[in-house]
């Protein structure tokens, strides 16, 4: 009997390990605004369709890239253009969507339109009262995401043209800007349009009389996949899922524009 058990144990162990190893894993680190705006929906459908489990780590774009560099991820989703030094080192950048950068205020704010000049004045601290841009006589609270996030850097480059940003409140994850603006009556912030779907308590301002849905809206971020070397099989499947008809539908439904 003991001999049979000794004989069977390794077989059972082998069967157990082979069964548990059956599902493949894709380690994905993603910027919070991409996860919220697009990624989670695609991940759910991807897992349902393929026998691949996606291990998601939500962070800022910079951390997502660092995790990829350090071998903790197979694929990173970032909201900035990959610096040339990484491309030279063999990292692959695949831009897949463009997302309008929304300027948001509390839903009770009477302001509907803002100009680029006014945004620059507000976020550089030259204007600190809503009265100065046609609103009520109350202090403006500027709300920004963490200064390490791609959203912050994109805003600084696209809107403020590298001017230093003056701020009252800062959130660790970029998507928490929405909560802060929704809770602060006199708050103003900026966020990826994709992350704004179904969020309540905030209002998107027109910029230079251009609505966020207009093609000639002035501020767009580019969302990209990044891999260390060429994407592995699972990462390639995920990229193709994002490029697929369904992936495009999700991107469009979130107010973003697919690159292809």
Partner 1 sequence: MNLKDKIKIILLIVCFLFTSSCATVITSVMPPTTFVKKGDVKLGPVISYDFNIQPIENNIYRVIQIPICEQEQRVFVVQKKQTRGPLAALVELPIFGLGLVDWVVADAVAQNSKKVVDKGYVPTGEFKKCGAPSPAKGIEVVVQFPLSGSEKKLYTDENGNLDLNPLFASYPNSSVNLFVRRGGMTYYLTSIYVP
Q: In terms of CB distance, is 112 or 249 closer to partner 1?
A: 249
Instruction: Select from 105-113, 123-131, 147-155, 241-249 the region that touches partner 1 (CB under 8 A).
Output: 241-249
The crossing angle, in degrees rounded to 10, of helices 233-243 and 40-49 is: 120
84 lines the binding site for partner 1 (CB under 8 A): yes
Q: What number of other Cβ atoms are within 10 A of residue 184's Cβ? A: 17
Find the binder of partner 1 among 69, 217, 243, 257 (CB under 8 A): 243
Size of the site for partner 1 (CB under 8 A): 22
87 lines the binding site for partner 1 (CB under 8 A): yes
Minimum separation from the CB atom of position 39 to partner 1 (A): 17
Instruction: Select from 52-60, 92-100, 153-161, 201-209 the region that touches partner 1 (CB under 8 A).
Output: 92-100
Find the binder of partner 1 among 34, 79, 205, 239 (CB under 8 A): 239
Residues numbered 170-229 forming contacts with partner 1, rule: CB under 8 A: 222, 224
Find the binder of partner 1 among 64, 82, 151, 195 (CB under 8 A): 82
Q: In terms of CB distance, is 50 or 185 closer to partner 1?
A: 50
Residues ≥6 apart with Cβ < 8 Å to 5: none
Residues numbered 25-54 forming contacts with partner 1, rule: CB under 8 A: 49
Find the binder of partner 1 among 45, 47, 93, 132 (CB under 8 A): 93
Residues numbered 128-167 forming contacts with partner 1, rule: CB under 8 A: none
245 lines the binding site for partner 1 (CB under 8 A): yes
Q: In terms of CB distance, is 49 or 107 closer to partner 1?
A: 49
Number of alpha carbons in the 13 Å side-chain half-sphere of residue 252 = 9
Find the binder of partner 1 among 9, 15, 44, 90 (CB under 8 A): 90
Q: In terms of CB distance, is 201 or 258 closer to partner 1?
A: 258
What is the Cα–Cα distance from 76 to 90, expressed in whole angstroms?
Answer: 14
Footprint of partner 1 (CB under 8 A): 49, 81-82, 84, 87, 90, 92-95, 222, 224, 230-231, 236, 239-240, 243-245, 259-260
């Amino acid at each position: 009997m003991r001999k049979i058990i000794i004989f069977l144990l390794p077989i059972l162990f082998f069967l157990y390990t082979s069964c548990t190893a059956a599902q493949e894993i894709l380690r994905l680190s993603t910027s919070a605004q991409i996860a919220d705006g697009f990624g989670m929906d695609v991940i759910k459908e991807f897992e349902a369709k393929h026998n691949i489990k996606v291990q998601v780590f939500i962070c800022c774009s910079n951390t997502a890239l660092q995790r990829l560099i350090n071998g903790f991820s197979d694929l990173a989703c970032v909201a900035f253009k990959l610096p040339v030094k990484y491309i030279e080192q063999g990292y692959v950048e695949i831009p897949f969507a463009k997302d309008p950068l929304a300027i948001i205020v509390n839903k009770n704010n009477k302001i509907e339109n803002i100009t680029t000049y006014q945004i620059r004045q507000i976020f550089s601290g030259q204007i600190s009262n809503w009265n100065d841009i046609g609103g009520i006589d109350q202090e403006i609270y500027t709300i920004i995401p963490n200064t390490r996030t791609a959203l912050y850097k994109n805003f600084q480059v696209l809107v403020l043209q590298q001017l230093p940003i003056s701020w009252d409140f800062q959130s660790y994850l970029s998507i928490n800007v929405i909560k802060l603006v929704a809770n602060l009556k006199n708050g103003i912030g900026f966020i990826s349009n994709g992350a704004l779907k179904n969020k309540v308590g905030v209002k998107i301002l027109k910029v230079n009389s251009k609505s966020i849905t207009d093609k000639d809206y002035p501020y767009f971020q580019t969302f990209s996949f990044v891999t260390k070397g060429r994407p592995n099989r699972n990462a390639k499947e995920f990229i193709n899922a994002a490029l697929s008809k369904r992936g495009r539908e999700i991107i469009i439904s979130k107010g973003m524009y697919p690159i292809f």
